[in-house]
Amino acid sequence: MTDDKLEIPEEKFVEESKYDLQKIEKKLKKYLDDDRLWHTLGVMHTAAALAMVYDVDLEKAQIAGLLHDCAKCIPTKKKLKLCKENNIPVSEFEKEHPFLLHAKVGAYIASEKHGIKDQEILQSIIWHTTGTEDMSMLEKIIYIADYIEPARNKAPRLAEIRKIAFRDLDLCMYEILHDTLEYLDENPDDVDQATVRAYEYYRKKCGK
């Protein structure tokens, strides 16, 4: 027997974070209301959990979740002004449904105000509301996390969809898009064509 202690070499096991999540959260508290901030934190944590399951960059999932709604509480007139001043394209549909602009404007703010230059993160913010065809893993994770985070309680079949989310992202996309279009069926003029295209893409991909 020996009393010698096992020497463990000092190693840097964890890489230094690229983003200061706490600093960004403090900034968000200044212009998001309490309900929106609570939702935002729920999306961040849900996105992180999904990223762990699907081996997606954890930090990217956290930062995209944290910033996905960073423009949500900006008044419509200011969002339109920001789009005009910064050459952010606005479709006729978006002019008629300006709440959708928080996604594009959010990506702009994430880039210009929070220093996020990673295109995968920015694209996941852009598509988190409507969805689109052939989304990246991160884009799907943020879209799904926005729908299933713990504070959500109004969408149908949430318990079932939450389980699917941790088994099959593509199937989960299909189920969410299906329910979204079914909900909007009573008001077809409120359906963004990006959502329709996304639904058709994932319907075919899932063999539905």
- DSSP assignment string, the chain: ---PPPP------SPPPSS-HHHHHHHHHHHS-HHHHHHHHHHHHHHHHHHHHHT--HHHHHHHHHHTTTTTTS-HHHHHHHHHHTT----HHHHHSGGGHHHHHHHHHHHHTT----HHHHHHHHTTTT--SS--HHHHHHHHHHHHSTT---STTHHHHHHHHTT-HHHHHHHHHHHHHHHHTT-GGG--HHHHHHHHHHHHHTT-
Domain assignment of residue 11, yes or no: no
Task: Identify the CA nearest to 63 among candidates 118, 130, 3.
Answer: 118
Number of domains in the chain: 1
CATH of the domain at 102: 1.10.3210.10
Q: Give yes or no for residue 122 having a pLDDT over 50.
A: yes
Domain assignment of residue 111, yes or no: yes
Mean residue pLDDT of the chain comes to 92
User: Which pLDDT score is estimated for 1?
Assistant: 45
Residue-number span of the structural domain to which 38 is assigned = 21-153
Domain assignment of residue 197, yes or no: no
Q: Give yes or no for residue 12 having a pLDDT over 70.
A: no
User: Which pLDDT score is estimated for 15?
Assistant: 52
Domain assignment of residue 5, yes or no: no
User: Which pLDDT score is estimated for 4?
Assistant: 56
Domain assignment of residue 126, yes or no: yes
User: Which pLDDT score is estimated for 13?
Assistant: 44
pLDDT band for position 189 (cuts 50, 70, 90):
confident
User: Which pLDDT score is estimated for 32?
Assistant: 95
Q: What is the pTM of this model?
A: 0.90
Q: Give yes or no for residue 158 having a pLDDT over 70.
A: yes
Domain assignment of residue 95, yes or no: yes
Region 9-21: mean pLDDT is 63
Domain assignment of residue 208, yes or no: no
Domain assignment of residue 3, yes or no: no
